[in-house]
Structure 1
Amino acid sequence: MNRIFSFSLVLVVSFTLPGYAQRKTIDQRVDSLMKLMTLAEKVGQLNQYSGREVTGPASDRKNYLLNDIKNGKVGSMLNVKGVKDTREIQSIALQSRLKIPLLFSLDVIHGYKTVFPIPLAESASWDLDIIKQSAQVAATESAASGIHWTFAPMVDIARDPRWGRVMEGAGEDTYLGAQIAKTRVLGFQGEQLGAVDRIMACAKHFAAYGASMAGRDYNPVDISEQQLHEIYLPPFKAAADAGVATFMNSFNTFNGIPATGNAYLQRDILKGQWNYKGFVVSDWGSIKEMTPWGFAKNLNYAAEKAILAGSDMDMESEAYKKELENLVNNGKVDLKYVDEAVRRILYKKFELGLFDNPYKFSDEKREAKVMNDPKYKDIAKLAAQKSIVLLKNDNATLPLSKGLKNIALIGPLVNAKRDQAGSWVVYADTANMVSVYEGLQKKYAKNVKLSYAQGTGIDDALTNGFPEAVNAAKNADVVVMVLGESWDMSGEAKSRTDICLPGQQEALFKAVKATGKPVVVVLMAGRPLVFNTIAAQADAIVYAWFLGDQGGNAIADVLVGDYNPSGKLPISFPRNVGQIPIFYNYYNTGRPVTKPSDIRYKSAYIDSPNDPRFAFGHGLSYTTFAYNDLKLDQATLQKGQSLKLSFKLTNTGKVVGEEVAQLYIHDQFASIVRPVKELKDFVKVKLKPGESKVINFELTPEKLAFYQEKIGWTTEPGTFKVMIGTASNDIKLEGNFELK
């Protein structure tokens, strides 16, 4: 006991040293602690349990977990939240011989108490400031509730909207995804771990889970090395460079090897080439799941493959707990692999300051104060406003006219609250959620009559509510239909083969549209949907995703014109499932379609155009913007130099608006085929009516590099096209330069 006490006292004092000295001191503290640990205690640090049963009623499982915690056989708990429970369980961990504190973790995906738009929706804002703010609020609330660590951001690039987890990410583009990955990591963590209003982030799922075959969860991935490095890894590298504390491996295979047991991904790339210093946690049960994959014949072999491959912490497989000691004692696993994993985990616990104060994040007064901070609602509302994408607006149908007397609100999601929150919600408190009906009710008070008819359910085969809906439309000046998915139709294990509007919703639209009244459609979903009849016939379409607590207020602001929408699509919207996967940065092929009228023996469909219904980067505004005067400061770009581009952006409309100007390039000839376009930069600019601003971009040889197997990242001399526009399919300015 005296030995442990003096050890703790010395390290508390030395931990206050700044900079490099502080890092060296944490290393020393980890070394000192590990000298005291038995193999069983080391293995315990690699074991993570879900805490649902710990805080529940008495059971054999609860007793089992509590005994393991008390005996130092657990390093982390997930699914425990709130100061009361985290403090209570931490106190049990401190009864262990070495009193090593637990890490408490949770899936805080898009908000903790305050629910923000789903990540895909926030990505549609193309606004890094608001994305960072939402992560900061989520971190502040989580930390005040005793949470140390979130399993976010998900940085998987996803090109298949059938995949339910597309809602958790930033969409289809590598560059946009990398910028958002970095931003969310910094929002969750701050500049340095240890602040009581920040938590550890986790970049997931490493790697290429977004390329899961057939858009199905837990499925294999079959892509080239070039695609892995060029498309799927850069957001993870951006997260690592931003200092993300942890990585989570993925459920998929790569090159036939499950990611959890894939040494190429975890040791060669992550911990080798990238020199990553944080730790890797398995996804739920993914170590034991290597057995049904047919990769590990039993749990013993699965534990061996996982630890050797670089998976540091075992989430809910109990593989390390049950097998690792024997593997070390039998000489199948060198102790150095266990020590490395333990060292990485302990380092983060010291960095968070948990050894100095295990209850640092368990302050009831701070929890009560933070959870009731009214300014978070304002941030959530702004995030929701910025996430809305105006897909269509024929004849300036929106914003709604000031002289309206009667608005018909029709559809199964008009009064939706729980659905506004989407999947992966910590607190689904509908009392804090605002429906579209409530949002418009606040806007119009008693000045405009709001007539409501549900018409049909979200996934309902019945049409007996159609007559009431049609009658409401006939008596209205304008119709607002709120349609889409339910909250539990997207998210993990929510893959769909049919991503059309479910049930009878499109039939309801046809019936309402037949009245001849103007119809505005608000669509809520966690993914791109297929809605061809609505796309063709609706007067205006607002894509609202799932916007969180303040969704109804934000949608109402956009509909009445109190907020000018500025969102842009972070993912392509297909015309039909047969086009999937569909994305803007495709390869041209040897027989490209150059004229839609000429598809004979071309790379084309005979029953559908090649292009998406709505393209990556698309999004309208209530104002208009002009792009002029593209200038390149030089015609050639040399190694070690940068090319500066500028153009003038002007608000040519009558209201204030924000525009997302997008920079694309095309490498016209290279030793491997290059995409027709690649996003390389963007900027979001707010302009008053008639106001102009000169926008500057910069290109370096590094931004022009591509990946070649056996060579790695490289640049080649050649001619490049530069394109600037308002969407990937709406290029306003073009130029050329040569890379020497």
Structure 2
Amino acid sequence: QQYTNWRTLPSRATYSVEAGETYDIEIHFAQRENWQANLEFNFGKELDVTYDQIIENLDGIETVIYVGGLSTLLEGEEMPVNYPGFKGGDRTNIELPAVQREFLKALKAAGKTVIYVNNSGSAIALTPETESADAILQAWYGGESGGQAVADVLFGDYNPSGKLPVTFYKHSDQLPDIEDYSMEGRTYRYLESEEALFPFGFGLSYPSFEIGEAEASKTSITPDETVWLTIPVTNTGDRTGTEIVQVYVRKVNDKDGPIKTLKGFERVELNSGKSAEAVIELPPSSFEFYDWEQRKMAITSGEYEVFYGNSSASEDLKKITVEIK
């Protein structure tokens, strides 16, 4: 087997051997381009994973914080990785690796309260984990201080307010083949939000927030005018927190256009029981969409739906209509 890579990464080569036999194994390596020439290797055997001993060691423990997910050694670009779910740094599915998925199920079956901290640089289909875990924290790759940041959130020393910058799908089969260039069913712009596991812009916080009825500076404009949205926000929880108010725009009767497109957002920090207003600007470019007649992005006359709320999910959004003359 042959691997060519620009950095030292784990690769796996499987050989069948017989007891009592002697085998000669040669490993050749060399420098290519201006990359370093290095080699790290080991030998071992694979055994089926069981969780009985781990569960036994957790006897008397009610709550388990399980930190799992992926690794920068698995997902990347042009990497000599060939594991289930990965190929050359690409993902062949977006599921959590089976060994982790089954472990979370085993913890839940043992009666544990499970807090799952997911490390990844991309979306993972966590549908089974919504059953096997009581809470999920998406930590991405936090770097040197990532562990401290996660601990601050889990123990309540910091109130989370992040929102997902990508859609988390329910399962791998939702994604079309990568060679299918149609956008249908891809990203929050072309996927109905109820079909997502966790939609774009979604994110929980310890307190809850209520989004009031927005007021628009104008609802009938010319193509060169700006609309200002004033959106009331109330912290209905029992501690200080931050909400991210989001604004999306959709061009009505745009047959091939996106369902909605993020056009603005604003962070609002509020003490418990307090209210404030998020003021979000929608410049003319916010109403620019592809026009098939002109074969370019353009602002055209018609109706535009302006959605506002705290995620891209339909149930989290309210709507006003703006007309461009």
Q: What TM-score do the two structures reach when normalised by structure 1? A: 0.34
Question: Is contact 1:723-1:731 (8 Å) kept?
Answer: no
The alpha-carbon deviation at position 498 of structure 1 amounts to 2.3
Question: Is contact 1:662-1:679 (8 Å) kept?
Answer: yes
- Larger strand proportion, structure 1 or 2? 2
- Large movers: runs of 4+ above 6 Å: none
1:513 equivalent to 2:108? Answer yes
- Residue 550 of structure 1 corresponds to 145
- Residue 187 of structure 2 corresponds to 583
Whole-Å Cα distance in 1 between the matches of residues 160 and 72 of structure 2?
A: 23
- Residue 653 of structure 1 corresponds to 237
The alpha-carbon deviation at position 517 of structure 1 amounts to 2.2
- Residue 500 of structure 1 corresponds to 95
Q: Per-residue displacement from partner, 1:245-273 (whole Å, max 9, x unpaired)?
A: xxxxxxxxxxxxxxxxxxxxxxxxxxxxx
Whole-Å Cα distance in 1 between the matches of residues 318 and 149 of structure 2?
A: 33
Q: Per-residue displacement from partner, 1:432-488 (whole Å, max 9, x unpaired)?
A: xxxxxxxxxxxxxxxxxxxxxxxxxxxx86323x12321244411311111111331
Question: Is contact 1:645-1:697 (8 Å) kept?
Answer: yes
Question: Is contact 1:506-1:531 (8 Å) kept?
Answer: no
Whole-Å Cα distance in 1 between the matches of residues 98 and 131 of structure 2?
A: 19
- Residue 534 of structure 1 corresponds to 129
- Residue 60 of structure 2 corresponds to 475
SS at match of 2:53: helix
- Larger helix proportion, structure 1 or 2? 1
Question: Is contact 1:658-1:687 (8 Å) kept?
Answer: yes
Matches within 5 A, 1:652-671: 652-670=236-254
Q: Per-residue displacement from partner, 1:484-537 (whole Å, max 9, x unpaired)?
A: 113311111210202222241111111110122211111111211123221223
SS at match of 1:727: coil
User: Alignment partner for residue 226 of structure 2, among 632, 642, 653?
Assistant: 642
Which structure is larger by alpha-carbon Rg, 1 or 2?
1
Whole-Å Cα distance in 2 between the matches of residues 713 and 552 of structure 1?
A: 44
SS at match of 2:187: coil
Amino acid at match of 2:310: T
SS at match of 1:500: coil
Matches within 5 A, 1:88-487: 462-464=48-50, 466-487=51-72
SS at match of 2:246: strand
Whole-Å Cα distance in 2 between the matches of residues 514 and 711 of structure 1?
A: 57
Whole-Å Cα distance in 2 between the matches of residues 617 and 639 of structure 1?
A: 28
Q: Per-residue displacement from partner, 1:645-702 (whole Å, max 9, x unpaired)?
A: 11111111111111111101111124x5321111000112221111211111122332
Amino acid at match of 1:492: E
Whole-Å Cα distance in 2 between the matches of residues 577 and 583 of structure 1?
A: 13
Question: Is contact 2:311-2:317 (8 Å) kept?
Answer: no
Amino acid at match of 1:491: G
Whole-Å Cα distance in 1 between the matches of residues 230 and 136 of structure 2?
A: 33
Whole-Å Cα distance in 2 between the matches of residues 587 and 732 of structure 1?
A: 16
Matches within 5 A, 1:1-20: none
SS at match of 1:640: coil
Question: Is contact 1:461-1:504 (8 Å) kept?
Answer: no
Amino acid at match of 2:238: K
Question: Is contact 1:498-1:577 (8 Å) kept?
Answer: yes
Whole-Å Cα distance in 2 between the matches of residues 617 and 461 of structure 1?
A: 41
The alpha-carbon deviation at position 632 of structure 1 amounts to 1.3
- Structure 1 residues 716, 537: closer, same or farther in 2, change over 3 A? same
Question: Is contact 2:257-2:290 (8 Å) kept?
Answer: no
Amino acid at match of 2:140: W
SS at match of 2:266: strand
The alpha-carbon deviation at position 716 of structure 1 amounts to 1.2
Count of aligned residue pairs for this structure pair: 263
User: Alignment partner for residue 196 of structure 2, among 590, 602, 612?
Assistant: 612
Question: Is contact 1:474-1:515 (8 Å) kept?
Answer: no
Matches within 5 A, 1:707-726: 707-708=290-291, 711-726=295-310
Whole-Å Cα distance in 2 between the matches of residues 505 and 675 of structure 1?
A: 36
The alpha-carbon deviation at position 727 of structure 1 amounts to 0.7
Matches within 5 A, 1:25-36: none
5+ residue gaps, structure 2, are 1-5, 8-32, 35-45, 79-88, 177-185
Q: Per-residue displacement from partner, 1:49-74 (whole Å, max 9, x unpaired)?
A: xxx9xxxxxxxxxxxxxxxxxxxxxx
Question: Is contact 1:469-1:512 (8 Å) kept?
Answer: no
Q: Percent sequence identity over matched residues?
A: 33
Question: Is contact 1:482-1:524 (8 Å) kept?
Answer: yes
RMSD of equivalent CA atoms: 2.4
Amino acid at match of 1:585: R
- Residue 692 of structure 1 corresponds to 275
Q: Per-residue displacement from partner, 1:317-352 (whole Å, max 9, x unpaired)?
A: 9xxxxxxxxxxxxxxxxxxxxxxxxxxxxxxxxxxx
Matches within 5 A, 1:626-637: 626-637=210-221
Amino acid at match of 1:475: G
Whole-Å Cα distance in 2 between the matches of residues 500 and 639 of structure 1?
A: 45
